[in-house]
Every structure is written in structure tokens, then in C-alpha cells.
Amino acid sequence: MKYREMGKTGVNASAFGLGCMRFNGAASGDTTIDEQKAISLIRQAIDGGVNYLDTAYTYLDKTSEIVVGKALLDGYRDKVTIATKMPLGAVKDRESMQAVLDEQLGKLQTDHIDFYLMHGLDKKEWESFRAIGAPQFFEDMKREGKIRFKCFSFHGPYEDFEYILNDYDWDMVQIQYNFMDTENQAGIKGLKLAGEKGIPVVIMEGLLGGRLSKAPENVQALYDAFPVKRSAVEWAFRWLCNHPEVYVVLSGCNELEQIEENLRIFDSVGAGIMDADEIKLMDDVHRAYLDRTKIGCTGCKYCMPCPNEVNIPGIFSVWNNVSLYCTDPANDWGLKRIKENNQGADRCIGCGACENACPQSLSIIEGLQRAWEELA
Ligand SMILES: NC(=O)c1ccc[n+]([C@@H]2O[C@H](COP(=O)([O-])OP(=O)(O)OC[C@H]3O[C@@H](n4cnc5c(N)ncnc54)[C@H](OP(=O)(O)O)[C@@H]3O)[C@@H](O)[C@H]2O)c1
């Protein structure tokens, strides 16, 4: 396992951090975690060299922290740093922030949290956290030793990221990043900005929640043609760790084989280790995924609101995602929501208001018809 000191925190973190958001139930459809399996996975990761665990107050119906706490008994707590998060939805003032933090310490069975994050910020949420005094609360808890580092996780647009990053003295930031998300959310610009400010970055969704672990045919052909053979997972993690701004890559694993493979991969990663051919390969892989795009909708929403309430950008986003990552539309939560809200393409009456407004001049009416047929 590779380790690196995380800037001013001084923590010598493992390059692979275990995400504790995706533990499964014992049987398919079981919504409660298979606790024994999760504890064993966590301990095997730690035994293999992982010293960074990521959880949150809300994960797995608020049970993730409990399982992590149990896994860290028997001497395991001293071997790791814990990152967990405070959700805006559960707090409204200092008293409730204190109650949430104390509850988390109790569930995690520890007297301190290493990395304490404001969960899933965008500009609006940051301002709400600020309005209820979260920054002062974090400072005070740091002084009391209940938390060690003040951090945030982020899923908003770049402009919000820049604003939040420059607005407070953060110790670490967690962003979604992978070779398909370089221009999405904080993106490469956000990563570089954090690097310039000396703020260590922890990565989530490095495999896009697992979607990059199984390459579609045209992508697999590129991997196969490369002289050095590596799995899609290894290429994705290797690409991430090649960035000097990236300190820890989180991945949520459900099987021992995944932990073992990731432990092996993170033995031989590092900033700047990819040569020009490898970098070109990953650029080609990125393009090969994009070649699978069904329609060039940028999600600008100029077509909205549709007079008949069709969720045009939502449908196109699902259509593109299903095609890019070969996922099953039956399991797509975005599509489920569109159907539940009765915003499907079956409502389209072909009035064309959307096509007149689309800056990309897309054939939206035809696209909606095809998308709906294919997604059905
Ligand atoms: N703060 C936030 O708002 C936020 C949001 C998202 C995530 N997170 C944190 O970041 C962590 C990492 O994100 P993530 O779980 O989405 O990471 P990820 O690495 O993008 O996806 C994890 C999934 O990838 C697959 N996987 C992992 N290792 C594999 C391997 N060796 N071979 C094949 N498949 C493999 C598994 O999918 P299958 O289960 O399908 O096999 C696993 O569930 C989360 O667990 C959570 O702790 C935080």
C-alpha cells in the first residue's frame, strides 16, 4: 500500500480509503447491512494496509457509522483515521450540531473523529451551514479534541466549489472525480485549485459508483490493444493517483475479492507514474465512452419548462448514461423518478417548443421517442 502525508494535516494516509456507503444486505433485496460481512471486509482492508475509512451520518439508513464503530473494536480504532460527515438536514443550530456529533462519536465508539466534513456542500448549503454557526462549531470542537480536521464534501458546480474553498480555512476536501468527470462538478479545475491552495483532496466515485469497472466493448478493445494488460478498475485508479493533488481514493467494496484487487492496485500507484502512452490511452478511453453518447444534450435546460411537463434533460441524461455505461434502465433511479412524477416522453405531443429553444439544435421530438422506446 502506498502512503502519503496529507499536507498540513500531517496524516500519513493510505492511497486506498475504504468507503463505507455501499455495504450490501445478506440476501438480494435485503435493505439491512450484513453486519458480520461488513465488519470482516473493513478489518480485512485494515489488515491489508488501509488506514482511512469514510462514512457519514446518513449512510445506509444511519447504520454505516454503527458498523464502522463495531469493526473498529479490538484495537482497530488505533490503526485508522475516520472521516464522517454532518448533514445539513439533521442540524439547525449549535445544540443540534452538538447532538449529532455526540451521537456520531457514540455510534463510532470513539472519543474523536479525524476528518469531520460538512456533507455534500454547494454554495447554498455552505451558506446555510454558515448561518447556523457551523464554522465556529467546528473550530470549537477542534479545540476540544472531538474533531481533528475541518473538511467538506462536494457535488455542486465548479463556481460553488471555488467560492467555498476560498471562503474558509479547510483542512481537506472530498470531491467526485474520475476520468469521465473531469469537466463535471469540481472537475479538473477544482482539483488544481485545491492543489494550489495546499488543501489535500480525497476522491469519491473514482469508478463512478462501479460503472467504470466493466468496460463496454469499444473501450475494452482499447485496453486489450495496450501492451501492458490491466483491468478497467486498475486503469481508473491508476489514472486518479497519477494526479499529485489526489491523496486518497475512496472506493466502496462489497466483496473480499474487490478489497484484495484494490489492495494490490494501490501497491503500485503514485503521482506522475503514467507515461505519455498511458495518458494517451486514457484520453482515448474517455473519447470512446463519449462516442457512445446518444444525444448531445448538455443539460442547459433552455428547453424547459416543457408545456406538457416532459423532463427532457432528465430523459436524455438517463438515455446517455445507460448507453455509455451499459447499465440496466430498470435499475436507474433517475428514470424511476421521471416515471413516478409522470414526466415521461409518452407525454410529448410534438409541439416543438423545445426544439425552437435548444441552443444545440437537437431533434428533441425524435430523440424523446427513441429514448423512450429504448429505455422501455
Ligand atoms: N460525500 C458524498 O456526498 C459521497 C457521495 C458518494 C460517495 N461517497 C463516499 O465515497 C466512497 C467511494 O465512492 P463509491 O463507493 O461510489 O466508489 P466507487 O469506487 O466509484 O464505486 C464503488 C463500487 O465500485 C465497484 N468496485 C470497487 N472495487 C472494485 C473492484 N476491484 N472490482 C470491481 N468492482 C469494484 C463496486 O461495485 P459493485 O458493488 O457493483 O460490485 C463498488 O460498490 C463511498 O463509499 C462513500 O464513502 C461520498
- 300-355 confidence digits (pLDDT tens): 999 999 999 999 999 999 999 999 999 999 999 999 999 999 999 999 999 999 99
Please indicate, yes or no, if residue 290 is contained in any of the structural domains: no
Exposure string of 241-280, with b = 16+ CB inside 10 Å and e = fewer, is: bbbebbbbbbbbbeeeebbebbbebbeebeeeebeeebee
| Model confidence pLDDT, tens digit, residues 50-94 | 999 999 999 999 999 999 999 999 999 999 999 999 999 999 999
Answer yes or no: is 295 within a domain: no
Same domain, 281 and 319: no
Domain ranges, residue 184: 3-285
Residue 301 lies in a domain: no
Cell 498540513 identifies what position?
Answer: 8
Side chain identity, residue 81: T
Question: Which pairing describes strands 172-176 and 246-252: parallel, antiparallel, or unpaired?
Answer: unpaired
Q: Which of 126, 201, 253 to mutate to test the pocket of ligand 1 (most atoms within 8 A of CB)?
A: 253
Q: Do 134 and 45 share a structural domain?
A: yes
Q: Are 327 and 321 in contact (CB under 8 A)?
A: yes
Say whether both 240 and 347 belong to one domain: no
255 and 332, same domain (yes or no) = no
Nearest CA owner, ligand 1 atom 32? 258
Report if pTM > 0.85.
Answer: yes
Residue 298 falls within a domain, yes or no? no
Phi, psi of 333 (to 5 degrees): -65, -30
DSSP type of residue 181: -
Encode pLDDT of 177-198 as tens digits: 999 999 999 999 999 999 999 9
| Type and span of the H or E element at 153 | strand 147-154
Q: Which residues line ligand 1 (CB under 6 A)?
A: 19-22, 54, 119-120, 153, 155, 174, 204-210, 213, 233, 250-254, 258, 261-262
